[in-house]
Structure 1
Amino acid sequence: MLQSQYRWKIAEPYPAVRDELARELQISPLLASLLANRGIDTSESAHRFLHGRDESLYDPYLLLGMDRAIPRIRVALERNEHILIYGDYDADGVSSTALMIHLMRRLGASYDIYIPHRSNEGYGLHNHAMDWAHQQGVSLVITVDTGISAVEQIAYAAALGMDVIVTDHHEPPAVLPEAYALINPKIPGCPYPFKGLAGVGVALKLAQALLGEVPAHWFEIAAIGTVADLMPLHDENRVIVRRGIEAMRASAFPGIEALLQISGVDMAAVSSVNIAFALAPRINASGRLDHAGRAVALLTTEDADEADKLAHELDLLNKERQQVVNDIVGQAIEMLEDKISGSGLPPVIVIAGEGWNVGVVGIVASKLLERYYRPTIILGIDPETGNCKGSARSIPGLDIYEALTDCKELMDHFGGHPSAAGMSLHRDRLEQFEQRLHHFADARLLPEHFVPVAEVDAECRLGELNVNVAEQLELLQPFGMANPSPRLVLRKLRLREARKMGKEKTHLKLVMEQDGSMLDVVAFGRGELADFLQPGSLVDVLGELSINEWNGKRSLQLMLQDIQVTASQVFDFRGEADPVGLMERCTRIFHQDSADRAPVAAVVGPHSPFRKTSSLNDDRIWVYDKNTGILPENESADLAVKDTVRTLFLLDLPGTIEQFNALWTIFPKVENIVVMHSKNGYHGRLETPDREQFKRIYVLLRKLGTGPLDEKTILPALSRQCSISVRMMSRVLEVFEELGFVHREDGILSCVPNPPKKELTSSHRFHELNEAAEMERYLLDAGTPQLASWMMSRLEGVS
């Protein structure tokens, strides 16, 4: 049995709406169902969503503050005032700044830009930056993707004689800055009909208000920031990103073209997914490890050679960023495991480390959230000053911005969204900061909030899917927040093949079948699962449809996101060279939802070397026993609640069928049986009883006389004459003893002169020998399918 990583939450179907949309638009029922699930329930709105290319943008003057900002900018242009564009260092801030540079160039403005250094300065406006701007002769500051919380800094700028126009999209605080103009669709009372604009979206609206109509290729830059900042891709954002992608396929920007090339993206087929996973990480790498100005230069250069040089630099920075992230993740996990040893995971994870690059702590927080599924805050500590800068990532059950607001007096600065935020504070306040967050989360989070949920669009059968259906689903593009790539669940697929692929064998390729239809399933980075998926099994999968093109042939493919096997399974790892390592792998794969070793037990033989293996001390170890079947070997096993054991490791061969059967009595809820004993080195093999063989052995015994005979002497001799093991010969004598053919006592054997006439099959020992021989034949000689089938039949028979 293989548990799914997520709880699959399948959307409620709307059959009436689905059937109407499918009929009127001549689309597949699946696409119609997905549209209905996204709230698009009329043929008119569905046609506009799928095929609309002429959607208009909202009037920018609906944004509160726009009617005040535009006249001020026009005055600045007329008077040739020096304007400062103040941006941010993430991909949205970089895009916003680049867009404003293109706007300033087009307007012929006198301008400068300022983006704070992530590590040295941190997020937001800074007074020293205002001092610098004043020295440069700036009289008007326009912020992009920042400023809505900068009450003190904007007041300071005003005191220096500079007007500040804020364009931002972050959550506004209770007290707003007294800027010349505040433009943010989330400001209370703002009538703008769409609240989900990115920072670059708000900048685009400012450009639209100034120019009337913005150049089509500027949407490329707006699309990057919108997708990178995880803004909802519906309403106006859908228009912005769709126009941006269309322009990007024949990009007018040398920097974007160079970045697509270095990322290995086909320009003609660029999508929102490419923006999210190819462009955005490289743009972000600039601000994380260096200064965001390099990325701004890439998006604003008009020189192809410079663009190529900058794109290569960003690519190298991104590779360096990946290594830095991996190092910090490893350290953070080690610190967390030490911190929670014996106490369990807290409601909010807070980990801080000296010298950690604050430019990547957000990524680290995301990775720990993915691993532990808890709201996570990762902070880098400056060892000299003790100042901490961090990033938070949260789960749907906790608004992290609200949580930070609750303890705002402990921080020097904070800002963000319900799912992500940033903050700074001194290390002396870390403990109190963590306790306050725990208290806040404890009052709001319930146990179900800690179970990751995968939102599923539909459940269908394989026969409903084909290349044409997959092509229709592409009409839902661009995919992103609030308009995700469709997730489908298919149940009871028969697994025909499971193998690792890729140069390092880190990826997974499955071949599935249902009702005669075949499907290739691919999962990147999950090659290890191939060892735990058995051909012939019935499997449930969750994934996204795609079309694989190879040698001119187009075929349906599913990109796997989750998988489960609901039936119990037997895994054949006989002769495994590293049993302890395998146990760790299995525990990680089978029980990723468990915080302890509770679901796992291992069984060893009485003379097994594993009884002395220190690396198994924390595991529940049981040992085969000739009287009771199995006994607990250590304290962990002795205290175990046996009904909780779901995976059983058989490190050694059981000695008797009674010992084998005892496993299923002791562990009635076992789901996975991992067989790991050696197939070699068993010299005392039992054989299936043969009547003629028994007759021959009895004749040989009678020839030796009535006795008394020393068993230690005659057993090896009889073993050699009959070509069977000494152990087998001893079991034969047990049968003869039960039937009254011989008498045995204290190692002395005597033949009964006039034995009773009894059939071999009347002996209980004979049947035990038959079952034990069959057990050994399967456990040592059978192929994997035969072994699995036999073990499952025994398990079902005992239960």
Structure 2
Amino acid sequence: MLHSKNKWHSPAADPDAIKDLARSLSISPLLSSLLIARGMTVDQEALSFMDGGAEEYHDPFLLKGMTEAVPRIRKALEDGEHILVYGDYDADGVSSTALMIFLLRHLGASFDIYIPHRSNEGYGLHNHALDWALQQGVSLVITVDTGISACSQIAYANELGMDVIVTDHHEPPELLPPAYALINPKLKDCNYPFKGLAGVGVAYKLAQALLGEDLPADWCEIVAIGTIADLMPLLGENRAMVRNGLISMRQSKFPGIRALLDVSGVTMATVNAVNIAFGMAPRINASGRLDHAGRAVTLLTTDRMEEAEQLAGELDLINKERQLVVDRIVVEASAQLEQKIGNGEVPPVIILASEGWNVGVVGIVASKLLDRYFRPVIILDIHPETGMCKGSARSIPGLDIYSALSSCSEHMDHFGGHPAAAGMSLHRDSLEAFIAGMESYANRVLTPDHFIPVIQADAEVSLSDLTLQGAAEMDRLAPFGMSNPMPRFIVRGATVKDTRTMGQGGKHLKLVLQQGQDSIESVAFGKGNLAGLLPAGTAIDVLAELSINEWNGSRKPQLMLQDLAVQHVQVFDLRGAADAVKHAQQIRDVLLPYSGNGPYRAAAVLRKDQISEQSQLKGISLWVYDKEAGILGAAEDTEEQTSGRTSLLCLMEMPETPEQLDAVLAAVSEADNIALLHPVREGRERLLIPTREHFKSLYKLIAPITAQPVPEHEVLLHLSRQSKLSIRMLTMMLDVFEELGFIEREQDFISFVTEPEAKSLTNSQHFVRLGQIAEMEQYFMESSTSQLQDWMLSRRLGVS
């Protein structure tokens, strides 16, 4: 049994509404259902969403502050003033800065740019940068993607005789800065119809106000990068700008974009929002995380292909370095957390701090730990000399991290952000009180249900619904991103037809799923370790995205698995594994993310003489077989650790008797999964289900050699040479003969009874017992996985 990592929800489908919209727009029922799931039930509304149009652009002068900003910039141009573009170091800030460079070049302005260094300076407008700007002769500062909270800094700029125009999209504070003009759609008294612009979107609206119809169409390419990278909603005006940007990008004239697509492994002709999010944006962001964002700005604005290729290559290398840094910190942070919680529960908010954690990537680390534990996460880098901690937070839907930080503001020097993400700085002396305050706030706000991630699917479908035509039609809903995600489908009751791994080191999983006469290939990136747990024949539910796989001119639908579940108990067949301990540990670790929401418990059963050998089993309770009790705990805490539902039962050794097996199954009667890791005895060493012929043959062999008392070990050796039966089998058969009075045993000697009383074999309890043990051993040693699974589960039902 594999529990899904997330809860899956899909809207209740209205078959009539789906049918009516499909008929009205001449589209497939699949596409119709997707439109309805996204709230578009009216024909014209659905057509507008799919096809778009210029009517989605709003008048830039509806933005508060635009009527003041445009004349001031035009005056600066007329008077030859020197302008400073002040940006930010993330991909949105880089895109915004690049767009302003194109604008000011187009206008023939005199200008400089300034982007603070993430590690050395931090986010926002800085007074020392304004001092530098004054020395350069700057009289007008235009901020992009920053500035809405810079009250003291803008007041300082005013004292220096510089006007400041703020273009930003972050949440405005109660006290606004004394800027010459504030342009932010989120200002309370701003009536702009669309509030979801990225920083680059606000900069684009400024360019639109200044240039009107002369605005170059291909500047939407820059807008698309920043909007997607900053996870802005791909609805309304954003959707129009990103769609147009992607169309333009497929024939881009910007050397920087062409080079960046190339190093990202993206084909220009098919570039989409996902390529930007996972290919271009990380490389742009890497520049600001480990180096200086100015390199990325130069890449986007250069007009020389040679320079663009060099810079793109440099960003690619920086991004690879960033990945290594992130991986190292994730390992260190995870180890710190595991040590912190021991055998206890994960805290309601995870806060980890250490020296040497690059502040430029701690946000990524926080995101990765959030994905793993589904808790709000704060990762802090501690400066070894000053003791200052700088960090980033990422949160789950149930907790507004900005509000949580506000409740602990007395412990921090600075903080800011959004409900889902934030940054902060504090001294290490305040760290303990800060952690206590955050955990206290989280305990008040969060309930156990908040720790269960929920994924919203678009529909629950059959494999027959997921056609090539349906996959092609879905492109009409693109671009996909925030608030317009790639459609996700739930498929229940499919069967795994084929399982294999793919990629370097078998990192990825490839399944062929079948449902009735329909089958489809499915890929799950990063889930190659599940291959051994999903053999052919496994019934499976999946949450997946539908795509088109093109290879050698062939096109066919393909599923990209996002999550999966197996609803039945599974038996993992690793009988005879060379390193059973290693396999047990691996299965335990692989199953951990798929173990549901309760405590994760694993147990292993073995012989008493194996305890010392199995000490390497970590996080697994040990039980031993016992002749009297069936099984016993091998340690004082075993009963406590296996109380309640056991997620995984590992049989390191086959039970000796059916009673021992039943005792195991009764002790862990609700185990989700059973791993068979016992050694496989060679054929001759196995017990056979006894028959009358076996005993008839043995009787003939034993009669002549035991006319006089003979040591039992000599009898067994002689009989084993004369027959194909093992010593174990022969010993148990002698028990039957003794019980029936055919032989006598005395002081390890055996003698034949010449005229025994006639008795049926079935009267012997030892005969019945031998048959039961032999049947059990036959299942454990010789049966197929499915036969053994059915037999064990039927026995489990009998003892539960």
TM-score range, shorter chain: over 0.9
Alignment of 1:296-311 (within 5 A): 296-311=297-312
Contact 1:55 1:239 in 2 (8 A): no
Gapped regions of structure 2 (runs ≥ 5): none
Q: 1 CA distance for matches of 2:333 and 2:619?
A: 23
Query: CA, structure 1 residues 50+594, in 2 after alignment: closer, same or farther (shift >3 Å)?
Result: closer
Give 1:606's aligned amino acid.
K
| In structure 1, distance between residues paired with 2:550 and 2:792 | 42
**90-99 vs 763-772, which moves further:** 763-772
**Residue of structure 2 in register with 1:422 after alignment:** 423
Aligned to 1:602: 604
Residue equivalent to 2:326: 325
Query: d(CA) in 2 for partners of 1:54 and 1:172?
Result: 29
CA distance in 1, matches of 2:133, 2:413: 23
Equivalent position of 1:571 in the other structure: 572
Query: For residues 344-423 of structure 1, what are the structure 2 equivalents within 5 Å?
Result: 344-423=345-424
Q: What secondary structure sits across from 2:419 in the alignment?
A: coil
Correspondence for 1:537: 538
Which range is displaced more, 384-393 or 478-487?
384-393
Paired position in structure 1 for 2:663: 662
CA distance in 2, matches of 1:364, 1:535: 36
Are the counterparts in 1 of residues 651 and 678 from structure 2 also a CA contact under 8 Å?
Answer: yes
Asked whether the equivalents of residues 643 and 668 of structure 1 are also in contact (C-alpha less than 8 Å), the reply is: no
Shift of 1:625: 1.8
- Kept in 2, the 8 Å contact 1:689–1:770? The answer is yes
Q: Is the 8 A contact 2:685 2:726 kept in 1?
A: yes
Match of 1:554 in 2: 555
State whether residues 585 and 618 of structure 2, in contact with CA within 8 Å, keep that contact through their aligned partners in structure 1.
Answer: no
Query: Partner amino acid for 2:12?
Result: E
Counterpart of 1:693 in structure 2 is 694
Q: Is the 8 A contact 2:592 2:600 kept in 1?
A: no
**1:484 aligned partner, one-letter code:** P
1:399 is displaced (CA, Å) by 1.2
- Which moves more between the two structures, 780-789 or 249-258? 780-789
Distance 2:744 2:637 in 1: 43
Describe the superposition over 1:82-101 as per-residue Cα deviations: whole angstroms up to 9, x where unpaired: 11110000000000000001
- What is the CA–CA distance in structure 2 between the aligned matches of 1:438 and 1:606, rounded to whole Å? 44
The amino acid across from 1:188 in the alignment is K
Change (3 A) 1:701 1:402: same
**Contact 2:603/2:642 (8 A) holds in 1:** no
The answer to whether the Cα contact below 8 Å between 1:510 and 1:522 also exists between their aligned partners in 2 is yes
SS at match of 2:771: helix
CA deviation profile, 1:630-672 (whole Å, cap 9, x unmatched): 2222223233444421311011122223222322122211221
For residue 400 of structure 2, what is the amino acid of its counterpart?
D
Output the amino acid matched with 2:604.
A
Shift of 1:494: 1.2
CA distance in 2, matches of 1:345, 1:111: 52
How many angstroms does 1:157 deviate by? Answer: 1.1
In the TM superposition, residue 699 of structure 1 has moved relative to its aligned partner by 3.8
Q: Distance in 2 between matches of 1:333 and 1:747?
A: 60
Instruction: Tell me whether 1:502 sits opposite 2:503 in the alignment.
Output: yes
| Corresponding residue SS for 1:330 | helix
Shift in Å, 1:596:
9.3
Relative to structure 2, which stretch is displaced further, 367-376 or 479-488? 367-376
Quick one: distance in 1 between partners of 2:346 and 2:755?
A: 73
Q: 1:112 to 1:231 in 2, by over 3 A?
A: same
Paired position in structure 2 for 1:75: 75
How far has the Cα of 1:721 moved from its partner? Answer: 2.8
Task: After TM superposition, list the pairs within 5 Å mapping 1:142-221 onto structure 2.
Answer: 142-213=142-213, 214-221=215-222
Gaps of 5+ in 1: none
2:255 corresponds in structure 1 to 254
1:366 deviates by 0.7
Give the aligned partner of residue 469 of structure 2. Answer: 468
Q: CA RMSD in A?
A: 2.0
Quick one: which amino acid aligns to residue 225 of structure 1?
G
In terms of mean alpha carbon deviation, does 549-558 or 630-639 score higher? 630-639
Letter in 1 for 2:119: S
Map Cα deviations across residues 235-267 of structure 1 (whole Å, 9 max, x no partner). Answer: 111011001101101112110011111111110
Counterpart position of 1:291: 292
Shift of residue 397 of structure 1?
0.7
Deviations 1:730-783 (A, max 9, x none): 111222233343454664545556544332233332232123223223322344
| Kept in 1: contact 2:11–2:37 (CA 8 A) | yes
Decide which moves more: 150-159 or 483-492. 150-159
Displacement of 1:468 after TM fit? 0.2
How far residue 333 of structure 1 moved from its aligned partner, in angstroms, is 1.0
Amino acid in the other structure paired with 1:29: P
CA contact 1:149–1:415 (8 Å) conserved in 2? no
Pairwise CA distance, 1:551: 1.4
Match in the other structure for 2:646: 645
User: Does the CA-based 8 Å contact 1:365-1:391 persist in structure 2?
Assistant: yes
Comparing 756-765 with 98-107, greater Cα deviation is found at 756-765
Q: Could you say what secondary structure the match of 1:217 adopts?
A: helix
Does the Cα contact within 8 Å between 2:3 and 2:596 map onto a contact in 1? no
Deviations 1:258-317 (A, max 9, x none): 111111111011000011011101111111111000000011111111111111111111
Task: Name the residue aligned to 2:621.
Answer: 620
Q: Counterparts of 2:663 and 2:85 in 1: how far apart (Å)? A: 75
Instruction: State how far apart, in whole Å, the 2-side matches of 1:104 and 1:420 are.
Output: 32
Q: CA deviation at 1:509?
A: 0.8
The structural deviation recorded for 1:3 is 1.5
Equivalent residue, structure 2, for 1:774: 775
Runs of 4+ with >6 A deviation: 594-597
2:89 is the alignment partner of 1:89 = yes
Q: Deviations over 1:592-627 (max 9, x none)?
A: 25799752110112333x444322365211112222
| TM-score between the two structures when normalised by the length of structure 1 | 0.96
Deviation per CA, 1:177-230: give whole Å up to 9, x if none: 121111111111211111111000111111111111321100000000000000
1:232-251, aligned counterparts within 5 Å? 232-251=233-252
CA contact (8 A) 1:619 1:636 kept: no
> Is this contact kept in 2: 1:571–1:673, CA < 8 A?
yes
Distance 2:60 2:408 in 1: 36
Task: Tell me the equivalent position of 1:134.
Answer: 134
Query: Normalising by structure 2, what TM-score?
Result: 0.96
1:689 alignment partner AA: P
Cα pair distance change 1:695/1:680, threshold 3 Å = closer
- Quote the offset at 1:497 in angstroms: 0.5
Q: Distance in 2 between matches of 1:732 and 1:674?
A: 32
Identical columns (%): 57
SS at match of 1:635: coil
User: What residue is the counterpart of 1:760 in the other structure?
Assistant: 761
The 5 Å alignment of 1:15-94 reads 15-94=15-94
Aligned to 2:725: 724
Deviation at 1:125, TM superposition (A): 0.7
SS of 1:734 mapped into structure 2: helix
Cα deviations across residues 303-336 of structure 1 (Å, max 9, x unaligned)?
1111111111111111111111111111111111
Distance of 2:538 and 2:578 partners within structure 1: 26
Q: Which moved more, 1:692-701 or 1:738-747?
A: 738-747
643 and 743 in structure 1: CA distance in 2 versus 1, 3 angstrom threshold: farther
Aligned residue pairs total 798
Aligned to 1:110: 110
Contact 1:11-1:37 at 8 Å conserved across structures: yes
How far did 1:168 drift? Answer: 0.7
Q: Give the 3 Å change call, closer, same or farther, for CA 797–707 of structure 1 in structure 2.
A: farther
How many angstroms apart in 1 are the aligned matches of 2:208 and 2:128? 31
2:492 equivalent in structure 1: 491
